[in-house]
Chains A and B, each alone.
Chain A
Amino acid sequence: MQATPPAADGAPVLSLRDIVKTFPGVRALNGVRLDLFPGQVTALIGENGAGKSTIVKILTGIHQPDEGRIIVDGTETRFPTAQAAGAAGVTAIHQETVLFDEMTVAENIFIGHAPRTRWGLIDRRAMRRRAKEILAGIGADLNPAARLRDLGIASKHLVAIARALSIDARVVIMDEPTAALSHKEIAELYELVEKLKAQGKAILFISHKFDEIFRIADRWTVFRDGAFVAEGLMAEATEAGLVRMMVGRSVDQIYPKRPARIGPPALTVAGYCHPTEFEDITFTLHQGEILGFYGLVGAGRSEVMQALFGITRPSKGACRLGDQVRVIRSTAQAVAAGIVYVPEDRGRQGTVKGLPIFQNVTLPSLARTSRAGFLRLAEEFALAREYTQRLDLRAASLDQDVGLLSGGNQQKVVIAKWLATKPRIIILDEPTKGIDIGSKAAVHDFMSELAAQGLAVIMVSSEIPEVLGMSDRVIVMREGRIAAEFTGDDMTPENLVRAAVGIEGAAA
Chain B
Amino acid sequence: MSLLKSREAILALAILALLGLIASRFPSFVSPRSLARVLTDTSPLILLALGQMAVILTKCIDLSVAANLALCGMVAALLNGAGVPLPLILLAVIALGAALGAFNGVLVWKLGIPSIVVTLGTMTIYRGTIFLLTGGAWVNAHQMSAAFKAFPRTVIAGLPVMAWIAVAVTAGFALLMTRTPLGRAFYAAGGNPHAAVYTGISVGRTQFLAFVLAGALAGLTGYLWVARYAVAYVDIAGGFELDVVAACVIGGIAIAGGAGTVAGCVMGALFLGIIKNALPVVGISPFWQMAISGSAILIAIAFNAASRREPGRIILKKAEARQLQEAGQ
Within 8 A of B (CB), among A367-404: 367, 370, 373-375, 377, 396, 399, 401, 404
Contacts of B320 in A (CB 8 A): 24
**In contact, A24 and B188 (Cβ under 8 angstroms):** no
**In contact, A332 and B202 (Cβ under 8 angstroms):** yes
Contacts of A417 in B (CB 8 A): 199
Contacts of B175 in A (CB 8 A): 374
**In contact, A370 and B180 (Cβ under 8 angstroms):** yes
* Other-chain contact of A334, B179, B192, B200, B318 (Cβ < 8 Å): B200
Chain B's nearest CB lies how many Å from the CB of A346? 9
Q: Is B197's beta carbon under 8 Å from chain A?
A: yes
Contacts of B259 in A (CB 8 A): 354
Q: How far is the CA of A330 from the CA of B202 in the complex (A)?
A: 8
Q: How far is the CA of A63 from the CA of B311 in the complex (A)?
A: 9
Contacts of B198 in A (CB 8 A): 309, 311, 331, 341, 343, 349-350
Within 8 A of A (CB), among B136-193: 175, 178-181, 184, 187-188, 191-192
**In contact, B184 and A375 (Cβ under 8 angstroms):** yes
Q: Is A351's beta carbon under 8 Å from chain B?
A: yes
**In contact, B194 and A349 (Cβ under 8 angstroms):** yes
Chain B's nearest CB lies how many Å from the CB of A393? 17
Contacts of A62 in B (CB 8 A): 310
**Residue in A closest to B188 when the chains form the complex, CB atoms:** A352
Chain A's nearest CB lies how many Å from the CB of B77? 35
Interface size on B, residues (CB 8 A): 34
Q: How far is the CA of A314 from the CA of B184 in the complex (A)?
A: 30
**In contact, B191 and A353 (Cβ under 8 angstroms):** yes
* Other-chain contact of B200, A22, A335, A359 (Cβ < 8 Å): A335
Q: Name the interface size band of chain A.
A: 35 or more
Contacts of A375 in B (CB 8 A): 178-181, 184
**In contact, B200 and A348 (Cβ under 8 angstroms):** no
**In contact, A351 and B197 (Cβ under 8 angstroms):** no
Digit string of A190-211 for contact with B (CB within 8 Å is 1, else 0)?
A: 0000000000000000000000
**In contact, B324 and A354 (Cβ under 8 angstroms):** no
Contacts of B25 in A (CB 8 A): none
Q: Is A356's beta carbon under 8 Å from chain B?
A: yes
**In contact, A331 and B197 (Cβ under 8 angstroms):** yes
B interface, by DSSP: helix, strand, loop or mixed? helix
Contacts of A341 in B (CB 8 A): 198
Q: How far is the CA of A233 from the CA of B164 in the complex (A)?
A: 74
Q: How far is the CA of A334 from the CA of B192 in the complex (A)?
A: 20
Q: How far is the CA of A62 from the CA of B321 in the complex (A)?
A: 19
Digit string of B312-329 for contact with A (CB within 8 Å is 1, else 0)?
A: 110001101110110001
**Residue in A closest to B187 when the chains form the complex, CB atoms:** A355
Q: Is B195's beta carbon under 8 Å from chain A?
A: yes
Q: How far is the CA of A417 from the CA of B200 in the complex (A)?
A: 12
**In contact, A352 and B200 (Cβ under 8 angstroms):** no
Contacts of B180 in A (CB 8 A): 370, 373-375
Given A23-B311, A24-B324, A341-B198, answer yes or no on A355-B191 (Cβ-Cβ < 8 Å).
yes
**In contact, B195 and A349 (Cβ under 8 angstroms):** yes
Contacts of B258 in A (CB 8 A): 352, 354-355
**In contact, B201 and A363 (Cβ under 8 angstroms):** yes
**In contact, A374 and B179 (Cβ under 8 angstroms):** yes
Q: How far is the CA of A62 from the CA of B202 in the complex (A)?
A: 35
**Residue in B closest to A421 when the chains form the complex, CB atoms:** B200
**Residue in B closest to A362 when the chains form the complex, CB atoms:** B184
Given A330-B200, A396-B329, answer yes or no on A367-B181 (Cβ-Cβ < 8 Å).
yes
**In contact, B310 and A354 (Cβ under 8 angstroms):** no
Q: Is A129's beta carbon under 8 Å from chain B?
A: no
Contacts of B324 in A (CB 8 A): 24-25
Q: Is B305's beta carbon under 8 Å from chain A?
A: no
Q: Is A27's beta carbon under 8 Å from chain B?
A: yes
Given A330-B202, A352-B192, A363-B201, answer yes or no on A23-B312 (Cβ-Cβ < 8 Å).
yes
Q: Is B284's beta carbon under 8 Å from chain A?
A: no
Chain B's nearest CB lies how many Å from the CB of A476? 25
Q: Is B196's beta carbon under 8 Å from chain A?
A: yes
**In contact, A311 and B197 (Cβ under 8 angstroms):** yes
**Residue in A closest to B324 when the chains form the complex, CB atoms:** A25
Q: How far is the CA of A335 from the CA of B200 in the complex (A)?
A: 7
Q: Is B1's beta carbon under 8 Å from chain A?
A: yes
* Other-chain contact of A370, B178, B181, B313, B318 (Cβ < 8 Å): B181
**In contact, A354 and B191 (Cβ under 8 angstroms):** yes
Contacts of A335 in B (CB 8 A): 199-200
Contacts of B201 in A (CB 8 A): 331-332, 363-364
* Other-chain contact of A348, B184, B194, B321, B325 (Cβ < 8 Å): B194
Q: How far is the CA of A250 from the CA of B140 in the complex (A)?
A: 85
**In contact, A22 and B318 (Cβ under 8 angstroms):** yes
Contacts of B322 in A (CB 8 A): 22
Q: Is A21's beta carbon under 8 Å from chain B?
A: yes
Q: Is A245's beta carbon under 8 Å from chain B?
A: no
Q: Is A366's beta carbon under 8 Å from chain B?
A: yes
**In contact, B317 and A24 (Cβ under 8 angstroms):** yes
Q: Is A48's beta carbon under 8 Å from chain B?
A: no
Contacts of A331 in B (CB 8 A): 197-201
**In contact, B195 and A351 (Cβ under 8 angstroms):** yes
**Residue in B closest to A401 when the chains form the complex, CB atoms:** B1
Within 8 A of B (CB), among A403-433: 404, 417
**In contact, B192 and A63 (Cβ under 8 angstroms):** no
Digit string of B230-241 for contact with A (CB within 8 Å is 1, else 0)?
A: 000000000000
**In contact, A350 and B195 (Cβ under 8 angstroms):** yes
Chain A's nearest CB lies how many Å from the CB of B260? 10
Chain B's nearest CB lies how many Å from the CB of A329? 11
B192, B195, B321, most chain A CB atoms within 10 A: B195
Contacts of A332 in B (CB 8 A): 200-202
Digit string of A297-315 for contact with B (CB within 8 Å is 1, else 0)?
A: 0000000000001010000
Chain B's nearest CB lies how many Å from the CB of A151? 21
Contacts of B197 in A (CB 8 A): 311, 331, 349
Contacts of A23 in B (CB 8 A): 311-312, 317, 321
**In contact, B188 and A21 (Cβ under 8 angstroms):** no
Given A366-B184, A375-B184, answer yes or no on A63-B312 (Cβ-Cβ < 8 Å).
yes
Within 8 A of B (CB), among A150-169: none
Q: How far is the CA of A334 from the CA of B181 in the complex (A)?
A: 18
Q: How far is the CA of A373 from the CA of B179 in the complex (A)?
A: 8
**In contact, B312 and A352 (Cβ under 8 angstroms):** no
Q: How far is the CA of A331 from the CA of B200 in the complex (A)?
A: 4
Q: How far is the CA of A483 from the CA of B194 in the complex (A)?
A: 30
Contacts of A370 in B (CB 8 A): 180-181
Q: Is A64's beta carbon under 8 Å from chain B?
A: yes
**Residue in B closest to A28 when the chains form the complex, CB atoms:** B312
Q: How far is the CA of A356 from the CA of B191 in the complex (A)?
A: 12
Contacts of B192 in A (CB 8 A): 348, 351-353
Q: How far is the CA of A259 from the CA of B178 in the complex (A)?
A: 45
**In contact, B1 and A356 (Cβ under 8 angstroms):** yes
Known: A331-B200, A352-B192. 11 other contacts (CB 8 A): A23-B311, A24-B311, A63-B312, A311-B198, A330-B200, A330-B202, A335-B200, A352-B195, A353-B191, A363-B184, A363-B188
Which 5 A-B pairs rank lowest in CB-CB distance, beginning with the nearest?
A366-B181, A332-B200, A335-B200, A352-B191, A352-B192
A-B contact pairs, 27 of them (CB 8 A): A22-B318, A26-B321, A63-B310, A63-B312, A332-B201, A332-B202, A335-B200, A343-B198, A348-B192, A349-B197, A349-B198, A352-B188, A352-B196, A353-B191, A354-B187, A355-B188, A356-B1, A364-B199, A364-B201, A366-B184, A373-B181, A374-B180, A375-B180, A375-B181, A375-B184, A401-B1, A404-B311
| B positions within 8 Å CB-CB of A | 1, 175, 178-181, 184, 187-188, 191-192, 194-202, 258-259, 310-313, 317-318, 320-322, 324-325, 329
